[in-house]
Amino acid sequence: METLTGQVALITGGGRGIGAETAKQLAQLGATVVLVARTRAQLEATADEIRAAGGRAYWFAADVSDEGALREAVQGALGITGNLDILVNNAGFIQAVGPIETSEPSEWWRTLEGNLKGLYLTTRLVLPTMLEQGRGQIVNVLSIAAARAFGGLSAYSCAKAAGLMFTRILAKEVRKRGVRVMAILPGAVDTAIWGTGEGIPEREKMIRPSSVARLIVQMLTTPPDATVDELWVLPQEGVL
């Protein structure tokens, strides 16, 4: 696998789960990683682990739906080396769960906006630098729910489906300008996003976050004459 020495990667939701595992693996290949998430303690712990292993890691506490805080984080990342080569849009959450008929409108819209707005804002803030450089890679971490219907997950699924179309449109707009845009759609992954409620699939049957991260890294190290537009990744037993 090729080296990423000299490249800077910004990862949202980088304090835990898929984001943290992706940051660790990118750092092992020589990339400088910039972690963005809401929880300082998780960011510090992940950054410390990367540094202890010999990598370079920085972090900024910001909610990706807060444009001002996110702008400061992106500007801070640019201040580290002056370039941004990789963006992994990984931040997301599930809040509005249940049938549409009994859904709470404020929670429904918050879930939709929280998952989609951060994807848009982070991309919008990072993209000008990549276009000016004439190079860059963006991986949007979505969900199999973007392409398959799951009862009780209407807000989250609509957000991820919109994210998939956003990815396709962005790829069409910038692929001839040196920026590669990709999406990964994992099935059930053993992360904290599931919470502790009833109806959760068996965690031992889920995909490990490190496995998804490994596939993201493989996408980012695909030779420059090819691209992985969209990658569906399911647990071994399929949809759980």
Burial of 59 per CB tally in 10 Å (0-12, 13-18, 19+): buried
Answer yes or no: are the C-beta atoms of 34 and 88 closer than 8 Å: no
pLDDT for position 196: 62
Q: In what order do the strands lie in the sheet with 8-12?
A: 56-61, 32-37, 8-12, 86-89, 136-141, 179-186, 230-233
Q: Which amino acid is at 172?
A: K
pLDDT for position 93: 80
Residue 222: other Cβ atoms inside 10 A? 14
pLDDT for position 9: 97
Cα end-to-end span (Å), the chain = 32
Q: What is the pLDDT along the chain (240 residues), one digit of tens a residue?
A: 578 999 999 999 999 999 999 999 999 999 999 999 999 999 999 999 999 999 999 999 999 999 999 999 999 999 988 999 999 999 988 877 889 999 999 999 999 988 999 999 999 999 999 999 999 999 999 999 999 999 999 999 999 999 999 999 999 999 999 999 999 999 999 887 766 666 677 778 999 999 999 999 999 999 999 999 999 999 998 876
The tokens describing 229, both together, are 């537009």
The tokens describing 69, both together, are 């805080």
Answer yes or no: are the C-beta atoms of 114 and 135 closer than 8 Å: no
pLDDT for position 201: 73
Domains of the chain, each with CATH number or no CATH = 8-233 (3.40.50.720)
pLDDT for position 29: 97
Please name the residues in contact with 188: beta carbons below 8 A apart, sequence gap of 6 or more: 194, 201, 205, 206, 207, 235, 239, 240
* Integer Cα distance of 167 and 158 in angstroms: 14
Annotated active-site positions, please? Answer: 156
Q: How far is CA 22 from the centre of its chain?
A: 9
DSSP string, 202-230: PGGGSBPHHHHHHHHHHHHTS-TT----E
